[in-house]
Structure 1
């Protein structure tokens, strides 16, 4: 297996040399995580796809490899590889969860956010997807699948382009192959793409179209013309001609995670400085920059309420109207 075709770079090679230098006498080889179990992983290596277990030192360091990670592993006679270290991530797709941060996939170059006109388009939620991609360091693209389900495709495409003029927006009919070539052009040689979106949007169908073979199970389309969610685990696929694709399970929504959020509300405080009134409680005051960010999908109402509670602000507030 050619490692460069699946994302290996000189920067990863430099990091690998540092790991080898810190473990003299241990024969370590690089591998990319293609699948993760409880304490095991499938690695793509120069020798092909191999099974691996996590070394005790890795668990002690509280580092959990995720799909897309590059790791250094030791070959053990008559046993699976043993993962000793996770190389520093270039980018990551992550979300905020109650326990902190959950990394969905690592070392992704472009995140393909898929939506459809049959009731899935929610500007606030799509904005959160795009913000999560930006925070993680990757670039984003919006894919409007099932474009034939709307009588006004150009109006819907314009609606999506207005979310972020810098983000590519592509129409798509994955079931018949329309737009698939244009999506493939977004993924350069050796790059990694992650495919995300709500369940039933056609991610598995697009995965099969990009790979040119049936690898991901697709669900039937019911009376509502919505596909059934079929992807149940993050999976890494090699693309013809080089490059990698991560097919993710459906995401109902995403809460944007930012560095330092676990310890405070620095992002909200920065916005609060732009409010019209110095003593704004971020409830129903006019000119509130915090509530404006909520209406744009840049902040969740739950985080703002937690911030207001921490500041001792009480009383009812008017929920901001979502931008349409």
Structure 2
């Protein structure tokens, strides 16, 4: 296995998938193909890195007309050499993990809309969920982050950054532990390069780490500290609410000195967790109009059409539970 590709996170599973992709092709066709990893995403082009270093690539017609196959940051793709500079991407290898969010989910009490999946990053091993002990600390939102990361197949790590804002951070750490006592929690002050030893220990060769969290919690500062250079822009903090301006506007995958890879994401104010089995509740909402009570919670009320459908095997209990959770979230707004 190439050491250059291994540094980028290449493993035996990706090698097997690449060989399967090439198997139907002629020798000449296979010779034109090489595996690359998506390290940058622009509007029309992708920055990729592989055996021949970093270069620019565009989508083939097949990928361009199939939105579900659009590469995301961290994806391993098949690059075909061509006359145009950088070549073109002709395939996306199966993802080991997928970090996605739901787009079009019900928000602020509005009527639920059809939900689609938006892939934010692929093949991520660890996700640092960054927060700070300030007015924006939101345990419920952090819980949704944890759930989204776990659904992706990656491992969540909670980072309480900007520890210098408080003399004692024990209370904030205990709040984080209520989400899951087994979660890895790191307390850092990235601006002062303090408490980063535990985070750096997570970054070993081939391991891909992503950062998420609200704007202003110091993700870009943490990125720069881990990379040992200014790679991500940082912004001023508003005095009114101690929140930062959105300074990271694109997703980039960086090689970390000493091993590992790091993805910096735009500030995600909130996440609607992607659930492929329960994303579109249109059918259940239509069914709910036949319930005896207008504000039926679909639990123990008599005459509940949704519960009747569950008993008849037309709706799975897991789908009903997801529907009830969505109704509960909407009811809190």
* Paired position in structure 2 for 1:241: 258
* Paired position in structure 2 for 1:56: 61
Asked whether the equivalents of residues 204 and 258 of structure 2 are also in contact (C-alpha less than 8 Å), the reply is no
Judge which range, 118-127 or 56-65, deviates more: 56-65
The SS at the match of 2:40 is strand
* Paired position in structure 2 for 1:18: 20
The SS at the match of 1:22 is coil
The SS at the match of 2:129 is strand
Once the two structures are superposed, what CA deviation does each residue of 1:251-293 show, in whole Å capped at 9, x if it has no partner?
A: 1100001122345489999xx99946676799xxxxxx99xx8
* Paired position in structure 1 for 2:201: 185
Q: Indicate yes or no: 2:93 matched with 1:87.
A: yes
Where do 1:145-184 residues align within 5 Å?
A: 145-184=161-200
Structure-2 separation of matches of 1:122 and 1:277: 33
TM-score normalized by the length of structure 1: 0.82
* Paired position in structure 2 for 1:314: none
Q: Kindly state the Cα deviation for residue 142 of structure 1 after the two structures are TM-superposed.
A: 0.6
Structure 2: unaligned runs, 5 residues or longer: 105-114, 288-295, 307-316
* Paired position in structure 2 for 1:75: 81
- Pick closer, same or farther for the CA change 1:92–1:265 going to 2, 3 Å: farther
Q: Indicate yes or no: 2:192 matched with 1:141.
A: no
Structure-2 separation of matches of 1:68 and 1:278: 50
Specify which of 178, 187, 211 is matched with residue 195 of structure 1. 211
Asked whether the equivalents of residues 161 and 168 of structure 1 are also in contact (C-alpha less than 8 Å), the reply is no
Once the two structures are superposed, what CA deviation does each residue of 1:10-48 show, in whole Å capped at 9, x if it has no partner?
A: 000000001111333322100000112233211011110
Give the superposed CA RMSD: 3.0
- Pick closer, same or farther for the CA change 1:279–1:185 going to 2, 3 Å: farther
Specify which of 40, 49, 53 is matched with residue 44 of structure 1. 49
Asked whether the equivalents of residues 6 and 242 of structure 1 are also in contact (C-alpha less than 8 Å), the reply is no
Q: Indicate yes or no: 2:106 matched with 1:100.
A: no
Once the two structures are superposed, what CA deviation does each residue of 1:46-87 show, in whole Å capped at 9, x if it has no partner?
A: 110011111112223431101000000111135321110000
Judge which range, 224-233 or 14-23, deviates more: 224-233
Structure 1: unaligned runs, 5 residues or longer: 283-288, 306-318
